[in-house]
Amino acid sequence: MQTINYIILAVLLYLLLKRFIPVKGVMNISTADLKNILNDNSKQFIDVRTPAEFKGNHIRGFKNIPLHQLAQQANNQLEKEKEVVVICQSGMRSQKASKTLKNLGYTKVTNVKGGMNAWM
């Protein structure tokens, strides 16, 4: 019985850590780094927050594609050849979005650490 508890604990710990470990092949930048690349036309900027969050406050130049719609809309709204820079409120959803984009075949994906919370 104690072995089962250790296995359950190990699985839960693994799942928890997996949420915070950066996605392989995704570059992470700070909001200070973001300010230096905002005018770079070779990059695509997406905000994966909800439309209401985006409407309340967003960075000019970012396109709103909510996380729950990203897998369906990415190929219609984003170019695979261009780098995609992803932001959300805290960095958690953008990390998930980065993983989704990598799984869809996007090779140049950048996550903004800390999201809009760090921008303000």
Which residue numbers are catalytic?
88
Radius of gyration of the chain (CA): 16
* Integer CA distances (angstroms), 88 to 7, 50, 61, 67, 75, in order: 34, 9, 14, 9, 20
Contacts of 80 by beta carbon, 8 Å cutoff, 6+ apart? 105, 106, 107
Q: How far apart are CA 73 and CA 51, in angstroms?
A: 14
